[in-house]
Chains A and B, each alone.
Chain A
Amino acid sequence: MVNLRSIREKLSWQGVVFAALFLTAAVIFAGFYLPARKKAGELEEQLSQLVQNEQLLLGIVEQIPQLEAGQRQIEDRLLTSAKYIPSQYDLPEVLEGLRTLSTYYGLDIASLDHVPVKSEQGSETGIIPLVMAVQGSEKVFAYLLHIQEVLPSLKVTQVGLGYIGRGLFHLELTADLQVFMLDHAPATGLELAKLTREDLVDLPVQAFGLPFEIISQYLGRQVQVLGIVDFQSQRSALVSKEGKQYWLRAGDRLGEAVVREISSNGVYLDIDGVDLKLTIGG
Chain B
Amino acid sequence: MKINLLPKEERPLKQSAVRPEFIVGLLVLLLLGAAGFVTLRENARVDHLTMVYEKALSKEEALQAQVQGVNRLRQELAELEAREKAYQELLAEEHESAVLLPSLLEKSFPSLWIEALVWESSQVEIVGYTKDMTSVSRYLNFLNERSEESTLSFAHPAEQTDFIIFGIEVKGVRDYGQSPLD
Contact = CB atoms under 8 A, between A and B. Distances in A.
A273 B113 contact: yes
Contact of A60 (B29, B70, B82, B84): B70
Contacts of A206: 108
B53 A81 contact: no
Q: Is chain B's binding surface mostly helix, strand, loop or mixed?
A: helix
Contacts of B106: 204
Contacts of A219: 158, 160-161, 163
Interface string A254-274: 000000000000000000011
Nearest to A24: B32
A21 B32 CA distance: 7
Interface string B35-78: 11011001101100110110011011001101101100110110
Contact of B91 (A47, A81, A161): A81
B160 A33 contact: no
A216 to B, nearest CB: 6
A77 interface: yes
Given A25-B32, A36-B42, A84-B91, A209 B128 contact: yes
Contact of A203 (B84, B102, B112): B102
A54 interface: yes
A15 B80 CA distance: 85
Interface residues of B, number: 73
B38 A33 contact: yes
A100 to B, nearest CB: 21
B158 A14 contact: no
B39 A28 contact: yes
A180 B98 contact: no
B60 A43 contact: no
A148 B109 CA distance: 30
Contacts of B99: 145, 148
Interface of B: 21, 24-25, 28-29, 31-32, 34-36, 38-39, 42-43, 45-46, 49-50, 52-53, 56-57, 59-60, 63-64, 66-67, 69-70, 73-74, 76-77, 80-84, 86-87, 89-91, 94-95, 98-99, 101-102, 105-109, 112-121, 128-129, 158-161, 163, 165
A163 B114 contact: yes
Interface stretch (A68-76, A104-112, A184-192, A245-253): A68-76
A39 interface: yes
A32 B128 CA distance: 108
Contact of B160 (A12, A61, A220): A220
B161 A216 contact: yes
A207 interface: yes
Contact of A141 (B42, B76, B101): B101
A205 to B, nearest CB: 9
Interface stretch (A128-136, A149-157, A225-233, A235-243): A149-157
25 contacts: A21-B29, A21-B32, A25-B31, A33-B38, A37-B42, A39-B46, A40-B42, A40-B45, A44-B49, A47-B49, A47-B52, A71-B73, A74-B77, A74-B80, A78-B80, A78-B87, A85-B91, A148-B98, A159-B118, A162-B117, A203-B105, A204-B105, A215-B129, A220-B161, A274-B113
